[in-house]
Structure 1
Amino acid sequence: MNFKLTVFLLAGLLIKSSLYAQQHAEQDHSKYIAPTDPLVQQKLSKWQDVKFGLLMHWGTYSQWGIVESWSLCPEDEGWCERRGPHAHDYNEYKKAYEAIPQTFNPVRFNPERWAQAAKNAGMKYVVFTTKHHDGFAMFDSKYTDYKITNTPFKSNPKSNVTKEVLSAFRNQGFMTGTYFSKPDWNTDSYWWPYFPPKDRNVSYDPKKRPEMWQKFKDFTYNQIEELMSDYGSVDILWLDGGWVRPFNTIDPNISWQKSIPYDQDIDMPKIAKMARSHQPGLLVVDRTVTGEFENYVTPEQSIPDHYMSIPWESCMTMGDSWSYIPKENFKSTQKLVHTLVDIVAKGGNLLLNIAPGPDGEWHEEAYGRLEEMGKWMHVNGIGIYETKPLAPYRQGKWAYTKKGNTTYAFYLAESGEKIPASLKPEGLTLAPNAKITLAGKKKMLKVKDGSIQIASKELAEIGGQPAYLFVIN
C-alpha cells in the first residue's frame, strides 16, 4: 500500500470515527428500559463489575488494509470511498472485494496468544466480529458460502475462527460476546440485485415485497441461532447496524435516523427469545435501538462528559482504525489508562478494539500496549473492578470510585509529570484521621489541610505512572 493511499484511508477512518461518535452521542438515553428477567439482571450486574473488555474487528477487508465493509456502501461519505484498480466501477469493485476470500489465508491465527495477552492486560470480556455488514461470516454458517470455512484457510484445524476465539477466551475465564451485523450486503434478500443499492439500507421496500423481507428475517434468525447454539456459552449478543430497526423506533430528533427510508423490523422479540432459550441470561445489545433489547448502551469512539446511571460501554479503538491497517497509530499507554479510569469513574465499561491482520496476527505494538496496561492494572485494578462511581466522579485531574467503605481516588498525571508532594483531591473532603495509602504500598500517608502529603523518599520510590491510585479508608 502506497503512502498516499494509506493517508487517504486513515483520513476516511478518522471521519468515520468522528461522525459515528456524534451519531451515538445523539441517542436519548432517558428512554433506557432495564431488563426484568432475573438471569439477565444477574448477568448485567456481573458485566458491570468486569469493566474492561476486548473488541476485535476482523474480516477479509483486513487483506486490503481498508475500512471494514464500508467501501461497498454507495454513499458519498469519506469512509465509503473506494480506492485501488477497481475503484472506477462499483460493480467491478464489489466483484473484486467479494473475491478476496479466494486468497484469504490467516495462517498465523493463534487466539490463545490473544487471550493470554488480554488476560494479562486485565481485560475480562471479549466481543468478536462474527459477521460485519459485508456479510462475510467468520464462522461456519450453513446458510451462506461467503464464509471463512470456504477459503484457503478451510484446511486449517482452526478454520472456524469464531469457535476458536470464543473457546480460547472462555478458557481464560472471560465473558464472551458475539458481534453480529443485522444488515447483510452479500445476501440477495437484503441487497436484491434487481435494484442496485443506493445506500446502506435494504435495496427494496419491504412492505411491497414481504416475501423477500421474510426470507431475510429467516436468514438472520437462522444465523444468530447458529451462533447461540453451536459455539458454547455466550454472554453477550452485540448487534450492529442500527438502521435495521422497526420504523416506529426511529427518533426524528437524531440526524442519521432521519435517512432510514423503510421499516426494517427483523422481529427482535422472536430473536431474543430464541437466543435466550439457548443462552439463559444472555445480554442483548441492539445498538442505538432504544428499548427492551438494548440491555446496555454503547457510545462509540467517545466518552460521555458526565456520570450515567444506566449500564453503558464506550467502544473505542486502540489505534485510529476499527479494522487492520498496515501502519497503525496506537494510543499511548497513558492515554489508554486515562480513558479506562475516566469511563469507570462515570459508571461505564471500556471495550477496546484491536484489529487482527490478514495473516491472523495483531501488530506487535498492540501486545506491548496490553503488557504495559497489565503492569498498571496489576497494582491499581482494585480501584477498577467491582467498584461503583463516587461523586464528584471526575473533577480536574481526579477520578473517583468506591467499594464498600473504601474510596479510590485516581490522580491522572500529565505526560512527564512528577507527582507533587502535596495533593488536594478536587471535590473530595478528607478527614484528618483518614487512612490513606498509595495502591501497592503499605506506608500510611499523612493528611494536612485536606491534602495528601508524600515524603520525598516515598516520591522517589513511586516513580512515574500513567495514573496514581490513593486508597482511602
Structure 2
Amino acid sequence: MKKWIVYLLLLAGSAQALAQKESSDNSISANKNKPEREEWLRDLGFGLFLHWSLDSQLGVVIGHTLVGASDDYTHRFIKELPQTFDPYKFDGYRIAVQAKLAGAKYICLTTKHHSGFCMWDTKTTDFKITNTPYGKDLLREFVDGARKAGLAVGLYYSPEDFKFLYDHDMSVQRGGLVFTDEIQEKYNDLIRRQTRELFTEYGDIDMFFVDGAPKAPALIEAWRLQPNVVVTRGAVSTPEQTIPGAVNDKLWESCLTMGTQWQYKPTHDELKSATRIIEILVETRVKGGNLLLNVGPKPDGVIADPEERNLTELSAWHFINQEAIHNVRPWIVPHEENIWYTASKDQKTVYAVIFGIPDWVRGDRKEFVLASVKATLQTRISVLGQNDKVVEYANQVDAKSRFSQQKDGLHISVVRAQRIYNNNKWPNPITVKLEHIEPALNPPTFLTVKSLTQTGKTTLVGNVIDLGNTNLLNVAFEWRIYAGFVENLNETDWKRTHWMSVNKAGEYKIDLPDLPRGITYEFRTVVAHPSMTLFGEKMQFTSR
C-alpha cells in the first residue's frame, strides 16, 4: 500500500507541474478518453505534426499575425492570400512515408488554425482550401495518404476563428472577448458543425488535438460521434516546446518544433540537429510521454530540405533502435548520467540508450556500470541492430556483448560494430538491450514543491516522500535563467545550491543567493542516492 501511495503522490506532483506549463488557451477539460485507447496511443509513442496554412506563403508564424494587425493587412490576408495558395506538390502518402520511416506511428495535420482558414472542403465558410488554385480537399489527400502508409490519423483543430471575428466586425484578439448570447451561440454552432464534418466525412479519427477556446463544443461533438478518438490537448497534458523534468506514467504528449517556428520558416531559423531530436525523443519516452514532432511544409506542399535531412537521419536511428521507443514504459529511474532507460511493460526487458559519445569509433569496446538493474540467471544483453558476431573488415575484433553482476552494479561491455555511414562516424546514441533483469534498488521518491519569493530573497522548497533503500540522502536544487519558450529546450547550464543531508521524509528548504530582480528562473530538485543522482520536476519563479 505504501508504494502505491507514494506513486500516486508522485503522479499528482508531476501532473501539477505539467499543468503549470499549459497556457490558458491550452487548458484541460474533462477527460472522456477510453483508458484502453490512451494506452494504445502511449504504445505508439511518436507522431509527426504538420503545422500548415495559407500564410506559409509568407513564412510567418501561423495565424497569429492577424492579432493586432491593421484593417488593410487583415483584409488582404483573408481576401488575397487564398488566391495564390497552391500546394500543388503535396502528396499525403509521400509525407506519411517520410514520417513512418522516421519512426512516427501517427501523423497530425492542422485542419484549421486560429485564422479560420480550413484545409478541407467545409460547408461552413468560403475561407477554405477548395477556394484556392489548389482546388482540392487537402485533408482528404492527407487522410488517405496516412492510412495507405499505415499511420494513425490525427487532426489538429482550433475552435478560435479570426475569420468569424472579421465577419462580425470584431477586433481580432486572443482572450478577453465578450460575446452577446446570440453571437456566442453562432460561434459555438460553427465549432460544432466543423467538428461534425471532420468526424463524419473522413472515417475513423484516431487522435484529436484541440488548441484554443472554447473547447467544449468541439470535444463534446468529437466524443459523441467517435467515442474511440483520443483527445490529447483538451483532455490530457500537452506540454509545448518542453519536456517535463520528472516521470509521469500516464498519457501525456509533448509537442515541439524542429526549428523555432511551427509553420514553415525559410529565413533566420535555427534547426535542432537530428542527434538532439533523437535525445528529445528518448527522454520523452523515458519519462512516460509521447513526442509530437512538428515540421512545417513549404507553400508548395513538400517538407523543406533541411528538415527532410533531419528526418532521414532520424530514420536511420529509428530503423536500428525502434524497439526501445515503441510499446515501452518508464523504468524505475529515468537515467544514470548519460544512460537513459525505457522498459518493456512487464519490466523484464530494459533498454539502456547511451548518450554523449559522438566519437565512438566502430570496433571499439566500452564498459559501463548500471546501478539500477540486476542480472538474473536468464539475463542476456545485446546491442540493438547488431548480431554480436562481426565487425566489418575486422574479423579479429571480438564483437560479443558481455556482462557481470558485481557489488556496485551490473557491469556491461559492448562494441559498436555496425557500419552506418561510409566514414564510420555515427554521432547518435546506441542502445543496449538487457533481457530478463530485475530492479537493483528501491529509488527515493521526491517532489519539487514551490518557491517562496520576497524582496531580495528566494527560498526553494522540496519534499522527500520516501528515502528508498537508504537511510541518508543528500538533497539540493539546481536553477538557471529561463532562456525562453523555444530556446529553453536546448539549455543545459544549471547552477547548484549547497547539499543538505536528510535522514527522514519531509519538506526541506534552501535559500538562493541574492538574484537580480525581475528575472524569470526555473529550478528543480536534485537528490543524490548512494548509487546515482536523480532530478525532480522543473518549476519557475520570478525574482523580486
- TM-score (structure 2 length as normaliser): 0.67
The superposition leaves residues 136-194 of structure 1 with CA deviations (integer Å, 9 ceiling, x where unpaired) of: 1111111101011001111xxxx211111011001111111110111101114x8731x
What is the percent sequence identity of the aligned residues? 30
1:376 aligned partner: 317
CA 1:271–1:113 in structure 2 vs 1: closer, same or farther (change >3 Å)?
closer
Q: Which of the residues 342, 346, 350 maps onto 1:401? A: 342
Larger radius of gyration: 2
Corresponding letter in the other structure for 2:21? A
- Indicate the structure whose relative CO is greater, using CA pairs within 8 Å and at least 6 residues apart: 1
Corresponding letter in the other structure for 2:96? A
Corresponding letter in the other structure for 2:253? E
1:8 aligned partner: none
Asked if 1:439 corresponds to 2:395, the answer is no
Q: Distance in 1 between matches of 2:96 and 2:59?
A: 23
Q: Distance in 2 between matches of 1:23 and 1:361?
A: 35
* Structure 2 unmatched runs, 5+: 1-16, 389-399, 436-544
1:217 aligned partner: 188
Q: CA deviation at 1:93?
A: 1.2
CA 1:321–1:27 in structure 2 vs 1: closer, same or farther (change >3 Å)?
closer
2:223 aligned partner: 276
CA 1:460–1:233 in structure 2 vs 1: closer, same or farther (change >3 Å)?
closer
Q: Where in structure 2 are the equivalents of 1:58-457 lying within 5 Å?
A: 58-74=52-68, 90-98=70-78, 99-154=80-135, 159-188=136-165, 192-193=168-169, 195-197=170-172, 199-201=173-175, 203=177, 205-206=178-179, 209-241=180-212, 244-245=213-214, 268=216, 271-287=218-234, 294=235, 296-327=236-267, 328-403=269-344, 404=346, 405-416=348-359, 421-425=366-370, 427-430=372-375, 434-443=379-388, 444-448=400-404, 449=406, 450-454=409-413
Greater helix fraction, Structure 1 or Structure 2: 1
Conservation of the 8 A alpha-carbon contact between 2:386 and 2:418: no
The superposition leaves residues 295-349 of structure 1 with CA deviations (integer Å, 9 ceiling, x where unpaired) of: x210001000110123101101112210111144332111111111000000001
Q: Distance in 2 between matches of 1:428 and 1:465?
A: 26
Q: CA deviation at 1:350?
A: 0.6
1:52 aligned partner: 46
Q: CA deviation at 1:285?
A: 3.1
Q: CA deviation at 1:33?
A: 8.6
Conservation of the 8 A alpha-carbon contact between 1:392 and 1:428: no
Corresponding letter in the other structure for 2:160? P
Q: CA deviation at 1:393?
A: 1.4
Conservation of the 8 A alpha-carbon contact between 2:373 and 2:410: no
Conservation of the 8 A alpha-carbon contact between 1:62 and 1:324: yes
Q: CA deviation at 1:278?
A: 2.9
SS for the counterpart of 1:153 is: coil
The superposition leaves residues 191-211 of structure 1 with CA deviations (integer Å, 9 ceiling, x where unpaired) of: 731x434x31364x23xx101
Q: CA deviation at 1:430?
A: 4.8
* Structure 1 unmatched runs, 5+: 1-20, 75-81, 83-89, 246-265, 288-293
Greater strand fraction, Structure 1 or Structure 2: 2
Conservation of the 8 A alpha-carbon contact between 2:153 and 2:206: yes
Q: CA deviation at 1:41?
A: 2.2
Q: CA deviation at 1:460?
A: 5.4
SS for the counterpart of 2:431 is: strand
Q: Distance in 1 between matches of 2:263 and 2:372?
A: 40
Corresponding letter in the other structure for 1:470? V
Q: Distance in 2 between matches of 1:32 and 1:429?
A: 40
Q: CA deviation at 1:451?
A: 4.9
The superposition leaves residues 40-75 of structure 1 with CA deviations (integer Å, 9 ceiling, x where unpaired) of: 22221111101110100110110011011111112x
The superposition leaves residues 63-113 of structure 1 with CA deviations (integer Å, 9 ceiling, x where unpaired) of: 011011111112xxxxxxx7xxxxxxx111111222201111111111121
Output the aligned Cα RMSD. Answer: 2.7
Q: CA deviation at 1:36?
A: 6.2
1:7 aligned partner: none
SS for the counterpart of 1:408 is: strand
Conservation of the 8 A alpha-carbon contact between 2:67 and 2:174: yes
